């Protein structure tokens, strides 16, 4: 039987009755758009293995999200695109040529264990992509630290044609920094465009910067976290006498500062909190790089700061307009 309604029947809701018309899915779409240059650069440098890794991660994340929601008997949230973002970010944080089943396991871990177990988008304490990367780094240490040499476009036709991944592996610039061997570092231009070994999405600082500018322009992120993160990294490097440009442009610092540490759910909400968070990320990242046993500490730094974010939120409550203290 059709519910009885009066002839007038208007929508009743509490004010306001106007909306800025922004939405979570639009924000996620903006993040995906901002990641396009990076994704393109990654594919340019690492070729088909990068494409397969990205496709695997995104597809697995979407499937895992759907299945989790189904199992939890809640509405499907694939439409908010957050699973696509997680999948893409995870793929960009993996070395090209990693066995695809490992990428799939990492994706399932990211969505099922790091996100849906906590209740889905908005409830996760840690950035799912980073937590999954950390999980993979510990579980599959070998493949996760085996780096492909970037394809030398136009320079060396022989290398371009070869598909033997193992033959192409080499050390990342961060490994040289760790050894204190700065002479082996690529020149500034190659560091900037990303012509060096590393994860698919972390190598091209230029592409990442373009994406970050897009996000800032769209007001998806604010400047606080990236600026604080990069500034803290640079200052730390300067203080210990390490090459500043190399620390900023290699490893996960750029993608971390622009895309991972700016994740809404796992970073503080106020401007002051974001600054503290960014500085913490930068300092921890440099501390791990400098004094830890890993050559790279960016993901761990952000994960540790994720854990501290609620505490920072508590410290940095905004002072209401007109309040005394």
Partner 1 sequence: MKTVKSAFKFKGGVHPDYNKELARAKAIEQMPVPAELVVSMSQHLGAPAKCVVKPGDYVVKGQLLGEKNGFISVPVHAPASGLVKAVEPRQGPAGGKAPAVVLDTTAPAPEGVDASPRTLPPLDWKTATREELLARVNDAGICGMGGAGFPTCVKLNPPPGKRCEYLILNGAECEPYLCADHHLMLERADRVRVGVEIMRKVLGECAVRIAIEANKPDAIAAMEKAFADVAGNVEIVVLPVLYPQGSEKHQIFATVGRVVPEPPALPIDVGCVVENVGTVAAIANAVERGEILLSRVTTVSGDAVAEPKNVEAPLGTKYADLLAFCGGAKEHPAKVISGGTMMGFAVPHLEIATTKTTSGLLFLSPRRVFQYSSQACVNCGRCVRACPMNLNAAEIAKAVEADDVQDAERLHVMTCIECGACSFSCPAYRPITQFCRRAKNSIRARIAAEKAAAAKAAAAK
Partner 2 sequence: MSAILLAVLCVAGIGLVAAVALAAADKYLSVKEDPRIGMITAALPGANCGGCGFAGCDGYARALVAGTAPNGACAAGGDACAAEIAKILGVEAAATEKRVALVKCCGTRSEAIRVGDYNGICDCNVAAATAGGDKGCAYGCLGYGACANVCPKHAISVVDGLAKVDKRLCIGCGKCVKACPKHIIELVPAAATIHVLCANPDKGPAVRKVCGVGCMGCHLCERNSGGKEANHFAFQGFLAKINYENPPTDEQIVAKCPAKCMSVDPHFETGH
Q: Which positions touch partner 1 (CB under 8 A)?
A: 6, 8, 10-24, 26-27, 119-123, 222, 264-267, 269-270, 313, 317-324
Find which of partner 1, partner 2, none residue 4 binds, CB within 5 to 8 Å per kind. partner 2
- Which of 10, 189, 291, 321: binder of partner 2 (CB under 8 A)? 10
Nearer to partner 2, 6 or 183 (CB): 6
Which window, 1-9, 105-113, 268-276, 289-297, contacts partner 2 (CB under 8 A)? 1-9
Residue 150 in contact with residue 190, Cβ under 8 Å?
Answer: no
Secondary structure (3-state) at 265: coil
* Calpha distance 105→140 (Å, rounded): 11
Nearer to partner 1, 159 or 313 (CB): 313
Residue 255 in contact with residue 201, Cβ under 8 Å?
Answer: yes
* Calpha distance 269→264 (Å, rounded): 8
User: Considering the complex, what minimum distance in angstroms separates the CB of residue 319 from partner 1?
Assistant: 6
* Calpha distance 23→29 (Å, rounded): 10
* Calpha distance 101→86 (Å, rounded): 17
Which window, 3-11, 63-71, 135-143, 275-283, contacts partner 2 (CB under 8 A)? 3-11
Nearer to partner 1, 121 or 288 (CB): 121
Q: Write down how long the chain is.
A: 325
DSSP 105-128: HHHHIIIIITTGGGTSTTT-SS-H
User: Considering the complex, what minimum distance in angstroms separates the CB of residue 314 from partner 1?
Assistant: 9
Strands 147-148 and 169-170: antiparallel
Assess 18 for contact with partner 2 (CB under 8 A).
no
Residue 116 in contact with residue 222, Cβ under 8 Å?
Answer: no
Residue 99 in contact with residue 143, Cβ under 8 Å?
Answer: yes
Cβ burial of 316 (10 Å; 0-12, 13-18, 19+) is middle
Find which of partner 1, partner 2, none residue 1 binds, CB within 5 to 8 Å per kind. partner 2
- Which of 9, 21, 73, 325: binder of partner 2 (CB under 8 A)? 9
Rg value, the chain, Cα = 21
User: Considering the complex, what minimum distance in angstroms separates the CB of residue 8 from partner 2?
Assistant: 7
Footprint on residues 53-92 left by partner 2 (CB under 8 A):
none
Find which of partner 2, partner 1, none residue 3 binds, CB within 5 to 8 Å per kind. partner 2
Six-digit token string for 130: 């980073």
User: Considering the complex, what minimum distance in angstroms separates the CB of residue 2 from partner 2?
Assistant: 7
Footprint on residues 208-247 left by partner 2 (CB under 8 A):
none
* Calpha distance 24→81 (Å, rounded): 8
Which window, 5-13, 103-111, 223-231, 248-256, contacts partner 2 (CB under 8 A)? 5-13
Secondary structure (3-state) at 169: strand
User: Considering the complex, what minimum distance in angstroms separates the CB of residue 78 from partner 2?
Assistant: 24
- Which of 8, 75, 166, 187: binder of partner 2 (CB under 8 A)? 8
Site for partner 2, rule CB under 8 A: 1-6, 8-14
């Amino acid at each position: 039987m059709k519910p009885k309604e009066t002839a007038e029947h208007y929508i009743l809701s509490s004010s306001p009755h106007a909306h800025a018309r922004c939405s979570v899915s639009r924000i996620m779409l903006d993040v995906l758009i901002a990641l396009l240059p990076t994704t393109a650069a990654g594919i340019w440098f690492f070729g088909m293995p990068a494409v397969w890794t990205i496709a695997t991660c995104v597809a697995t994340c979407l499937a895992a999200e759907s299945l989790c929601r189904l199992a939890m008997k809640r509405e499907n949230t694939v439409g908010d695109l957050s699973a696509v973002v997680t999948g893409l970010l995870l793929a960009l944080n993996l070395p090209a040529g990693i066995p695809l089943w490992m990428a799939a396991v990492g994706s399932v871990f990211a969505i099922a264990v790091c996100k849906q177990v906590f209740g889905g988008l908005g409830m996760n304490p840690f950035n799912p992509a980073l937590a999954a990367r950390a999980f993979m780094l510990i579980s599959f240490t070998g493949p996760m630290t085996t780096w492909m040499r970037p394809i030398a476009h136009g320079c060396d036709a022989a290398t371009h044609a070869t598909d033997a991944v193992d033959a192409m592996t080499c050390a990342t610039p961060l490994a040289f920094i760790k050894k204190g061997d700065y002479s082996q570092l690529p020149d500034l231009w190659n560091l900037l465009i990303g012509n060096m070994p590393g994860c698919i999405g972390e190598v091209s600082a230029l592409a990442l910067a373009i994406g970050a500018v897009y996000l800032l322009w769209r007001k998806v992120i604010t400047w606080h976290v990236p600026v604080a993160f990069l500034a803290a990294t640079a200052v730390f490097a300067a203080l210990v006498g390490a090459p500043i440009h190399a620390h900023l442009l290699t490893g996960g610092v750029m993608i971390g500062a622009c895309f991972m540490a700016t994740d809404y759910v796992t970073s503080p909400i106020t401007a002051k909190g974001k600054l503290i968070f960014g500085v913490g990320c930068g300092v921890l990242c440099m501390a791990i790089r400098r004094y830890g046993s890993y050559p790279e500490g960016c993901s761990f730094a952000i994960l540790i700061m994720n854990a501290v974010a609620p505490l920072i939120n508590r410290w940095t409550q905004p002072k209401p307009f007109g309040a005394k203290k």
